[in-house]
Structure 1
Amino acid sequence: MRVYGAGEGRPASPVPGRDYVELIGGPLDGQLLDVTSWGAEECADGALLVTDTGQWGPGGRSDYAPVPGGGTRFLWTGDTP
């Protein structure tokens, strides 16, 4: 699986000892998001992630929310400019 935001010195594959959530659905489906430094409140809020492949094209964002009871998965809820 590919890690979201890989490149520019960031590894494309998961790194042992780090915490990840899997992105489900939408333009980032199947990628992993590194949440190692996130607190419980941040994880509960989900993530608004920049992507060039969403509905709004370059600079747009995809909204991912935690799956209830899903623990390590965030579900796509839509795109925003």
Structure 2
Amino acid sequence: MSVPYIHYTELKEFYTIQEVCELFHMEKKELKKKCEKYDIHPRRNEIGEWGLVKYDVRKLHNRLYHEEDEDQAWNWEDNPWA
């Protein structure tokens, strides 16, 4: 999977699950799997929609980006400097 480039400064404060799928070019099933892997949990916004806040979108994007880094084997849970 190729992670698209994202301008963090242009992100909205909240993205629905469908919007995150579109942003990352992935299916909902794959997004769920990646969120579970990196301990990122959807939240409800003020009108009851499920999605991710900007912080979590950035966190997930960063983790997915580094997944593709073949030179380094990141273990985010065990690396305090990650």
Assess same fold via TM > 0.5. Answer: no
**TM bracket, shorter-chain basis:** under 0.3
| Structure number with higher strand proportion | 1
**TM-score, normalised via structure 1 length:** 0.27
**TM-score, normalised via structure 2 length:** 0.27
User: Bigger relative contact order, structure 1 or 2, given CA contacts below 8 A and separation 6+?
Assistant: 2
Rg larger for: 2
